Structure 1
Amino acid sequence: MERFRKKWMQKSAVILTAFTLFTAGVSAAVPQEVEAKSWKQNLDAEEWKYSDPIMSTVYKDRRKESKGTDSFHEAESSIETMTKADIMDHYLDRNNRRVTPYTLIRVVDAVFSIDLQAISDLGAGKQAGTYSDHVLERVREASPKPLSDEEISQFSKVRVMELYWSSFKKRLTAEERYTMINEIFGVNLVGIAGLEGSGVALFSKNQWISQYDTDLFIVETGSDDVDVWVYPTEYFKQQTGLEKNPEELNNRLTKLGFSYSEEKGAFYYADPNGESVPDNFKGQTLGTIIGFIQEQYKDLLETENAA
Structure 2
Amino acid sequence: MSGSNLTKFSLELMDTLKRTLQKEHNRTVSDADLHDQIESMSKVEVMDKYLESLEGKMNADEVCKVVKEVYKIDLDTKPVLPTENDLSAIHSSRRAIINSHLRDYGENVTAKESRMAINQIFGINLDGISALDKARISLYSKGQWLAQKENDLFAVYTGDGDIDAEVVPTKYFTEKTELKTLPNELQYSLSEMGYYFDEKRGNYYYSNPTGQAVSNHFKTTTMGKIGEVIQKSFSHL
Q: Which of 165, 176, 193 matches 1:228?
A: 165
- Going from structure 1 to structure 2, the CA distance change for 1:94 and 1:234 (only over 3 Å counts) comes to same
Give yes or no for the alignment of 1:180 onto 2:117: yes
Provide TM-score, normalisation by structure 1: 0.69
Deviation per residue, 1:221-266 (Å, 9 max, x gap): 1120111110011111111112221122111100110001133331
Give the root-mean-square deviation of aligned CA atoms.
2.5
Secondary structure in structure 2 of the residue aligned to 1:195: helix
Give yes or no for the alignment of 1:197 onto 2:129: no
The amino acid that maps onto 2:52 is: D
The amino acid that maps onto 1:214 is: N
Tell me which residue corresponds to 1:102: 61
The amino acid that maps onto 2:210 is: N
Q: Which of 114, 117, 131 matches 2:73?
A: 114
- Going from structure 1 to structure 2, the CA distance change for 1:223 and 1:169 (only over 3 Å counts) comes to same
Runs of 4+ in 1 over 6 A off after TM superposition: none
Segments of 5+ residues of structure 1 without an aligned counterpart are: 1-38, 140-149, 301-307
The number of aligned residues is 236
Give yes or no for the alignment of 1:243 onto 2:180: yes
Task: Tell me, in whole angstroms, the C-alpha distance in 2 between the residues paired with 1:50 and 1:115.
Answer: 15
The amino acid that maps onto 2:130 is: A
- Going from structure 1 to structure 2, the CA distance change for 1:264 and 1:173 (only over 3 Å counts) comes to same
Task: Tell me, in whole angstroms, the C-alpha distance in 1 between the residues paired with 2:22 and 2:107.
Answer: 29
Q: Which of 289, 296, 299 matches 2:226?
A: 289
| Kept in 2: contact 1:51–1:111 (CA 8 A) | no
Segments of 5+ residues of structure 2 without an aligned counterpart are: none
The amino acid that maps onto 2:76 is: Q
Tell me which residue corresponds to 1:50: 9
Tell me which residue corresponds to 1:85: 44
Task: Tell me, in whole angstroms, the C-alpha distance in 1 between the residues paired with 2:56 and 2:166.
Answer: 40
Could you tell me how far 1:46 is from its partner in structure 2?
A: 2.1
Identity, % of aligned pairs? 33
Normalized per residue, the structure richer in helix is 1
Map 1:54-65; keep pairs closer than 5 Å.
Answer: 54-65=13-24
| Kept in 2: contact 1:114–1:208 (CA 8 A) | no
Task: Tell me, in whole angstroms, the C-alpha distance in 2 between the residues paired with 1:95 and 1:284.
Answer: 34
Could you say which structure has the larger radius of gyration? 1
